[in-house]
Chains A and B, each alone.
Chain A
């Protein structure tokens, strides 16, 4: 099983600032099979990025993804109020699909 470790656990930032979230895999993941999700309180997760760097439909371009091998990054260029949420990385290259434990982006 591929273990995904996200850092930091919590990111305290102000609106307008840049957020950089990391996800490290326990073994190499084909970048075609890596995604990021956002979950706001009381809501279902929402797909942000798939295939490491492809934005899902309707996702603003302030969200971007990058990475390869074992290290992947989600960047939010300028935080909007609605971006304060929990973010999960996921690999879907092998079974079981696994998620990271989440990074909470909170208002400073």
Chain B
């Protein structure tokens, strides 16, 4: 079964760092672009960025460039989203999502992780 399994919910304080994960299984992890999508409480979906695990080529939305870092470990079949200094406004559900076809950068997302809730509060 093709699936993405994300790490569990996190509660952090402003200024703290965080790295959440998304483990892929059941498919060729290196050859499918994998994206991160934010959903703030009660709001819509926002595309943050995307990575090709095979060579770690990554692209960011201008809204998130410099705010987060997307990375991947091919040997662990895991992608990561990290913050160096969290803000209260980072409170949201974060989803990882895989593209439909291998090698395709311009593609819809057919497999989604279950989401990781990040709460940032003092």
Contacts and interface: CB of A to CB of B under 8 A. Distances in A.
Contacts of B95: 44-45
B45 A47 contact: no
A93 B108 CA distance: 10
Given A44-B95, A99-B44, A101-B44, A50 B114 contact: no
Contacts, number: 60
Chain B contact residues (Cβ within 8 angstroms of A): what range?
20 to 34
B105 to A, nearest CB: 9
Interface in B77-108: 95, 97, 100, 106-108
A33 B50 CA distance: 16
B101 to A, nearest CB: 10
A5 B50 CA distance: 23
Interface string A61-95: 00000000000000000000000000010101101
A96 B112 contact: no
A88 B35 CA distance: 17
Given A44-B113, A45-B112, A95 B61 contact: yes
A63 to B, nearest CB: 14
